[in-house]
Amino acid sequence: MTDRPLRIALAQINPHVGAVRRNADRIRAARAEAAAMGADLVVTPEFSIAGYPVEDLVLKPAFVAECEREIAALGAETADGGPGLVVGGPWIEGGKRYNALHLLDGGKAVARRAKHELPNYAVFDEKRVFDAGPHPGPCVFRGRRLGLMVCEDWWFPGVSETLAETGAELLISVNGSPFEVDKHERVRLPLAVRRVVETGLGFVFLAQICGQDELVFDGASFVLNPDRTMPILLPAFEERVVVTEWSRDGEGRLACAPGPVAAHLPRLEQIYAAMVLGLRDYVGKNGFPGVLLGLSGGIDSALSAAVAVDALGADRVRCVMLPSPYTSAESLEDAAECARLLGIRCDTVPIGPAMEAFGGMLGPVFGNRPPDITEENLQSRIRGVTLMAMSNKFGGMLLTTGNKSEMSTGYATIYGDMCGGYSVLKDVYKTDVFSLCRWRNAHRPAIALGPAGPVMPERVITKPPSAELKPDQKDQDTLPPYEELDAILHGLVEEERGVDELAAAGHDRATVVRVWKMLDRAEYKRRQAPPGVKIGARAFGRDRRYPITNGFTGLVS
């Protein structure tokens, strides 16, 4: 046992799934930064050499071999007498494949620990690709016994109890830990307090920050001392390398000296920052030069444009107005003002000529049938084709602008306004869209590249939403008021409540049945929707997985 302070650097970094050499270089840079601050050990997030979640990539032997080579190279570099490293990555042993951490020091791997608790719920399916490791014991590092854990291992008491009982002096958990609204206060912090109370040990939670397809990882790494105080909290949605200093307290326990404690982000800023980071990394890591989107003068496209500019900068965002004979002058004015406020290029491509061409082409087939939703959907599909053509021609990814209320009820046109490569509003209900617009007009988040001040005219927020596919159309002609609709949808989707249960809670039963039927019928559309940022606890796609062909009506609880 040594009484010299132990300096542990927390490397809250942004890995790129599959870019093994890039990730190794980022770990090297974090180690160099930490070494300059006198660190003894640098801890990196779960599966940091490969990015997380790696999914079926880890089944490819060539990929695993590259991860092993880079981990070995990083290990060899620790012979320089600088800080040790904790690197996450695969570990193949005895015919089993583990999600593991590798403790590197003195030029080699001095210990490995495999993840014991493999999550297999919600967005996780690690049991498909990994084997569970045994309960780990502590790792000895420069005279200290460190209780190293991988993510889910600290969600249950068994691993931390084993580590404490076998002599660990400090618990360190490396994590992916995808974002959900208020997850820090609601889930992570109470759970960490529980582990500290159970073991009497200090606790380190280290997480990555990045966007990875539908998932966003917010970081917000923190430290709890044995007395349950929080001396360190890293900012959410930002890369940081911070050195923590651990010495023995009056009771002989390792405790962390006070350091930076970031401000907790309010709910709307969390959601907005998650959308920004998700889009930024999706576009950047997939090599798109920028994004393109249709700007209608409505609230969804206005918010999507603002997020795009904040994520990428105005020079990488291009908007298009696609007016029809039903587009109001107000909408054109509002779209143009959004573009001006954001400083982005906005082209105008009227779709009237295409509507006439399709009318002439289909007229002999349709005969005397009166116009109906077919002609409305045709307008949306004309816009989709036009936007995709511009995306193909200029290279920018088409950004979809639909929100969760629309995707829940099927109030969207497949192969029309659902066209695109990514959607920032996919898991955001319409009522939150209104709140986010008001918030962004009044605040510029730290993560933003866009302008300060209002990013859309007030009229965009206050006017009744409309698809403008026929004269005097309003969303509420087809849908219940959004306050009522979103409350019902939250009960059906996030809470999996039945119709009778929601009716008993005060909702009109007929309205609940109507909403449930729309939700049920729209599953086939959602299966063909682009990926989008997961915000809440039950996102479509990776979280909520319902069959398309489904005979269950669900009209009773």
- Catalytic residue positions? 46, 115, 151
Q: Are 171 and 195 in contact (CB under 8 A)?
A: yes
Q: Report residue 63 as tokens.
A: 């990929």
| Alpha-carbon span 461 to 445, nearest angstrom | 20
| b/e code 21-36 from CB counts within 10 Å (16+ = b) | eebbebbbebbebbbe
Q: Are 497 and 391 in contact (CB under 8 A)?
A: no
Alpha helices in 98-243 (DSSP H): 157-165, 183, 189-199
Task: Using alpha carbons, select from 443, 554, 550 the residue that is nearest to residue 493.
Answer: 554
| Alpha-carbon span 410 to 478, nearest angstrom | 11
Helix (H, G, I), strand (E, B) or coil at 243: strand
Instruction: Determine the Cα angle at 493 with ends 488 and 498, to 5°.
Output: 65
Looking at residue 548, what DSSP letter applies? Answer: S
Alpha helices in 367-403 (DSSP H): 373-394
In this structure, are strands 96-105 and 108-114 parallel, antiparallel, or unpaired? antiparallel
| Alpha-carbon span 309 to 317, nearest angstrom | 6
